[in-house]
Amino acid sequence: MSASVAVYRNIYTEDRFKQAYGTDDNTSGSLRLREKITGGCRCSKRACLHLLKERVPIFSWLPRYRLKKWILGDTIAGLTVGILHIPQGMAFALLTSVAPIFGLYTSFFPVVLYMFFGTGRHVSTGTFAVVSLMTGSVVEQLVPSPLDMNSSSPEAAEFEGQRIGVASAVALLSGIIMLCMCGLQLGFLSTYLSEPIVKAFTSAAAFHVTISQLQNMLGLRLPRHTGTFSLFKTLASVMENLPHTNMAELLISLVCLAVLVPVKEINMRYRQRLRTPIPVEILTVIIATGVAYASSLDSTYDIEIVGHIPAGFPSPRMPSLHTFPDIAGDTIAITFVGYAVSVSLAMIYADKHGYSIHPNQELLAHGVSNTVSSFFTCFPSSATLATTNILESAGGFTQLSGLFTSLVVLIVLLLIGPLFYFLPKAVLACINVTSLRQMFLQFQDLPELWKVSKMDFMVWVVTWLSVVILNVDLGLAIGVVFSMMTVICRTQRAGCSVLGRASNTEIYRPVENHSKCYEVPGVKILTYNGPIYYGNRSFFREEISRLLGLTPEKIRNREKARKALEKREREATVNTVESCIANTSFSSENEFFKSETSESDVQAVLIDCSSVIFVDVAGARLFTQMCTECQKVGVHVYLANCNESVLKILTSSGLMNFMSPQHIFVTVHDAVMYIQQQKEKPQENSTTVWV
């Protein structure tokens, strides 16, 4: 079914349109500012209640909780995730280079706190492999592990205290940074870690995690390497010490992998049919602990076990504040990674289930979680990929599932923890490696990413290679810088096109892509698809000069010809007065314009600013230079589709001293109609446009 549209209206310049439809910007702006200030300073019971619900979301969603509809799903999902938190918490503590009990603490406190302050209904917080790995690198740098220390000696307890002191200091500083970012409303900074960066970073970090766990899986007692090329240093060290492999721990690792990998695959493939996933991790931990205890594997085959896990609640303890200067740089990277992953996961499930999250509130939630939990010997936490996915697939509805998750972990802390004394560390290493399945599978996105955007594909590859080859922190920084450079390069080399009109319409499209759109005779319509600022002003000038054929020589020659013609006009005017003959051959600017140029020459330049999102001072000065150069060759400059900010900067920079306000139009078609009517009826002021 075809339809047509016809419009008959006045030609609108920007000034005329504002007079007809605009408002007083200064008045409305001052009123809005006054209302905002008075509204923010107003103190009332209603305002305080609103602030409380906004900053502590549990007071908002808990009164509206649908008990009969949601409680079963939240209970099952929370208990399922809690069971998974136990082995993963102890396993990720190995990545952090601290005792397993601290992983259980980190699986408890942040979960409870996020339930009160978080806005993600399906987000599961706790230990995360990448954050634990980055924290472990900081711990190893400041408190390197001696190879000959007896795990039961008093020195070992003091050594563990130093390590968790550093790890909790990282958590405290990370929480403080997040709280400061929340106060400054900097939640948008997470957008600088784009999806290709996050996926490439986590995928590459999975390789670091896997390589770092090889020594535990093989029973090797090796120092942990940090800094640049740490992955290759660790791999070389493992290969060099392969003859010293503990065969018992190797056998344990192979058996665990043979169990964990297939069952996890079953959980993934049949997750729609399974009400809850098979808790293979906790089952493996229980069975391995029982076998190790019954067979005395630690004394018989010298395998490394978890050791003493104290029962009870941890006592508050001050982190190692004196390490702040040494950990500041690494903590900033850890903070951004943890926050970016957490917000990305929250947004994914919020979009899926039709609700919204608030990035700044997420900063507050994770900031409070890390700050408070750091005083209870916890290392940095964030949202986790595996448990969040399980929480959603198990039927969780709200943050209340975190209550049941924390109850499971609390029971283990108070009662069951000491029973894991004989758990082999090789089992925890296998759990670490198999938990990275989703990160390794992100390679499957590369073919689709190549089809959609070659530039994003390059960002993915550069980030991945940087993280793998160099280091986690440095690789992430390189990925962010490279991603921002691609954005800058794309704005610097934005295309400049010539627009043509589709016959009998007001539609204008680039002529190189639309063969049936034709240029308006005597008018060169140009569009630039990007901002005009100091970084690309030279490129913009070159493109405009190329499309208009403006060279310095041509400008000088045309300026000389114009001055000579003006001189002849003055002489002709004097002769006309003396002979009392009305000579109007050069009575108007348009007649002079026609006499100087042929019908095929460019007589007017119209710049479509619809894609120019902003202009800086350098770009505004460039517009002024273009106006003066075009005036020298007798070409008029017109603008159309300028947004308010661009128009304000151009006006403030003095462009109106070189260009008439009547040459700035609301649309391209308004400008074209005006130019054509000026050419056809120079003595009339036609103000209508017909499409």
Mean pLDDT for the stretch of residues 443-451: 91
More confident residue, 615 or 277: 615
Q: pLDDT-based confidence at 360, cuts 50/70/90?
A: very high
Residue 661 has a pLDDT of 86
From the list 503, 310, 279, 326, the residue with the least C-alpha distance to 412 is 310
Give, in order, the Cα–Cα distances in Å from 109 to each of 21, 455, 599, 645. 57, 41, 79, 47
Q: Are 690 and 38 in contact (CB under 8 A)?
A: no
State the Cα angle at 203 between 325 and 480, rounded to 5°.
Answer: 55
Helix (H) or strand (E) holding 125: strand 125-126
State the Cα angle at 314 between 308 and 319, rounded to 5°.
Answer: 105
From the list 386, 349, 346, 375, the residue with the least C-alpha distance to 363 is 346
Q: What end-to-end distance do the CA atoms of the chain give, in Å?
A: 21
Q: pLDDT-based confidence at 277, cuts 50/70/90?
A: confident
Helices (H) and strands (E) in the chain, counts: 29, 11
Residue 576 has a pLDDT of 58
**Token couple for 584:** 């109007």
Q: Are 81 and 282 in contact (CB under 8 A)?
A: no
Beta-bridge partners for 509: 500
**Token couple for 51:** 């602030």
* Average of per-residue pLDDT values in the chain: 85
Residue 588 has a pLDDT of 43
Q: pLDDT-based confidence at 587, cuts 50/70/90?
A: very low
Q: pLDDT-based confidence at 599, cuts 50/70/90?
A: very low
From the list 534, 662, 645, the residue with the least C-alpha distance to 15 is 662
Q: pLDDT-based confidence at 75, cuts 50/70/90?
A: very high
Residue 1 has a pLDDT of 47
- Whether the pLDDT of residue 687 is over 60: the answer is no
Integer Rg of the chain from CA: 35
Residues contacting 377, CB < 8 A, separation 6+ = 102, 105, 164, 168, 314, 317
- Whether the pLDDT of residue 422 is over 90: the answer is yes
Residue 591 has a pLDDT of 47
Distance CA 125, CA 382 (A): 5
Burial category of 622 from C-beta neighbours within 10 Å (exposed 0-12, middle 13-18, buried 19 and up): buried
- Whether the pLDDT of residue 42 is over 80: the answer is no
Mean pLDDT for the stretch of residues 56-76: 92
Distance CA 63, CA 99 (A): 40
- Whether the pLDDT of residue 201 is over 50: the answer is yes
Q: At what angle do helices 589-596 and 552-578 cross, to 10 degrees?
A: 130
How many angstroms separate the most distant Cα atoms in the chain?
127
State the Cα angle at 246 between 243 and 250, rounded to 5°.
Answer: 105
- Whether the pLDDT of residue 689 is over 60: the answer is no
CA atoms within 13 A on the CB side of 602: 22
Q: pLDDT-based confidence at 606, cuts 50/70/90?
A: very high
Residue 690 has a pLDDT of 52
- Whether the pLDDT of residue 50 is over 60: the answer is yes
For the chain, what percentages of helix, strand and coil (3-state, to nearest 5) are there?
65, 5, 30
Secondary structure of 620-636 as H, E, C letters: HHHHHHHHHHHHHCCCE
Instruction: Give the whole-number percent of the chain exceeding pLDDT 70.
Output: 89
Q: pLDDT-based confidence at 218, cuts 50/70/90?
A: very high
Q: pLDDT-based confidence at 2, cuts 50/70/90?
A: low
Tell me the per-residue pLDDT of 449-492, one tens digit each, with 9 for 90 and over: 999 999 999 999 999 999 999 888 889 889 999 999 998 888 87
Residue 252 has a pLDDT of 95
Burial category of 357 from C-beta neighbours within 10 Å (exposed 0-12, middle 13-18, buried 19 and up): buried
Residue 525 has a pLDDT of 92
State the Cα angle at 70 between 69 and 75, rounded to 5°.
Answer: 135
Q: pLDDT-based confidence at 163, cuts 50/70/90?
A: very high
